[in-house]
Structure 1
Amino acid sequence: MLIRRSVLAQPVFAWRTSTRPGLVRLRSTWDDVRLRRATSVRSTVDGPLTLGYLGIPEGTSHVMPFLEKQAARGGPVLRRSTRTVPWAEALAPADVDLMAIGAPPARVRPLLSARDLLLPFRVELVVPVVPDVAAMRARVSRKERQRVARQRRDLGWRLEHTAAAEDFQWFYDHVHLPTMRRRHGPATRSLERDIALQCVFRRGFLFFLTDEHERVAGMLCLFDRRTRTLTLRLAGVTHGAPAHYATGAFAALYVLILEWAAVHDVRAVNLSGCEPFLSKGIFQFKRKLHPQVVRPADHFGAKRLLLRVVRDTPRVRDFLVANPVIAEAPGGGLEAVYFHDDRRAARLDLRWEGTGLRGARLTHLDSFLRSTSGGGTPFVSA
């Protein structure tokens, strides 16, 4: 069985993540065919607010958990149901307040209406690398850069690179899994151990942040020799201990890896992906490294997320204001969209600057929800 899993690891991983154009096209075609019957999710959170999702199955693990978490605001998910339905249901009225539809553009664009936002299904945060450590260090926000320098001096932090298989096993069991379980609980999702070993560790790099006594954080990265891109795949702090977050060890690991990349012929560091919302915590954390927000190079880059307001309710308005989006901009590219109304101020504290977005758009909810044009007012030009 172990041999069989090892043999299957490479094709399974490639099918999920490959950026080679031929395989991306094949995966996209397959996804479009299977959408003849789409995954449908209906979820209600306290308030109440009812969310819906229709589209590719990956939406149940990428899109819905985020929407539920933000909508529940710390409360429980009261009801959740999942089924498979004909794609034609995307054209039918949905018995929900807010609907997300995840599919290729050719399926999504014909559905667009004035109450819809067209988003990338996911975004990736990519830092261009130059062969200059000082220049890479300067990409980090000044406050973060000063804090990391102080902690490196006071705690003796350094970057360790290892290629030993036993170090991978220790990282997986004592760093990555405990961190994921502490942060995400039952919603934890990660690469299976064998795939992480065969397809990432043996084709990439394992880093640890160490102090004078122990390893305190770790990062497993895939290295694409064709594009010279280092992609951060699995991460964590030792035993998932909150104390390591408190010292800033996890953040420092990113900075040290950028410095390492500058002297090891790496052209880009992909900080990995997230949902297209500025309120995503990992987006705001990684924004301090001034990455470029791009569509993924894998099959997710060929998919879109249509966010539709079905009912104009106070809870829907609360959600839209609290979760500014990264949307398709007129004429191409990506932009930030902030909602507000006369009672709710735009969440401009959720920053977009320094991420390569084309600009930001401030949109009054009365105009978006009641007019036939939607739209908004650009207030910053990148």
Structure 2
Amino acid sequence: MPRPADPERRRSDRLLEEMAAEIDRRGGWIPFSRYMELALYHPRLGYYASGTVGFGAGGDFVTAPELGPVYAASLARCCLPLLTETGGDLLEIGAGSGALAAALLPELERLGAAPRRYLIVDRSRALRERQQQRLREALPPGLYARVSWLEGPPEAPFDGVILANEVLDALPVERFEITPEGPRLLGVTLTGGALAWRSAGGPDPRLEAAWSRLGLELPVGYRSEIALDLPRWLEQQTRALRRGAALFIDYGYPRTEYYHPQRREGTLICHYRQRGFDQPLALPGLIDLSAFVDFTALAEAADACGLEVSGFASQAHFLIDCGLEEVTAGLMELPDRERALRLAELHRLTHPGEMGERFKVMALSRNLAGAVPGFDRFDRRHAL
């Protein structure tokens, strides 16, 4: 893992001091979900509050919109009939660097379907400021005027499309371990001034209830994650959706794959300066910390919210069904350098060993007359 610069190290140390104080106040232990909340979203010292989150090739990680125009152009063809039917708005949850909005809005305008409003919900003030700067520079004034920012989900009724690209993986999750007595929460304590794992010891009522519903048999010592707050979060994000669809794009699995007996250490991922490693308690506030998504859990949460699961597919198959062939029709006529960049983007987006299979797309809808595009030929809802 690269050595952080001294200012970064000092900021991480300050967050560690605040974590240590909270651990002490709470009897020497906090659940992992609380650690993840502080590490990512502490209002001054968390990863997303720092203003230094690295997107793209020189950052901590690369998201699909950062790769080039193909992703947004394909996604626009999914949004087109949905915006036409609803006459509504487009809302992006967690817009990151603003790359998706910067590419998607001009493409939708070119297709004659620019939304009335493009709303961005992002709890990080630092990221909101970065998005505002990027979109002011990237968009013509007329399109930029349609963009507005919210700190939380809209309260007024909303018709249109909700987009969440790589948002679910950053929701705080609980970590658990299977013991002879059943599942037990794993949390964080202090040992010799350093953060360390520790079991909760006794049963946790929420985990016990969730585990009973899952009905899984896993070996003693198995560790993984569970998003106990996902139903509440989804309800908050979609309660204003009166008519339209929500697209969730992220890395994850159906439940049978998520809790596969051979995946004994769970799905947590840590990134720092483009390098992955497996020390989630290291450098709090400096590393990107995420967990794969249990898409079966998302489908169950949707049902509880009164949403219909309208489609589920790999990212590659979704993009193909959204008109990837049309989007890339003139690719071979491009100048050599640009053609090479677009071919590299296509490979990254669709190859099974890259984002193509690891990333999934789930469409949720409410009160739609038409189908959500992108799932005509490769819908995998049967796997949930």
**Structure-1-length-normalised TM-score:** 0.29
Q: Which has the higher strand share?
A: 1
**Structure-2-length-normalised TM-score:** 0.29
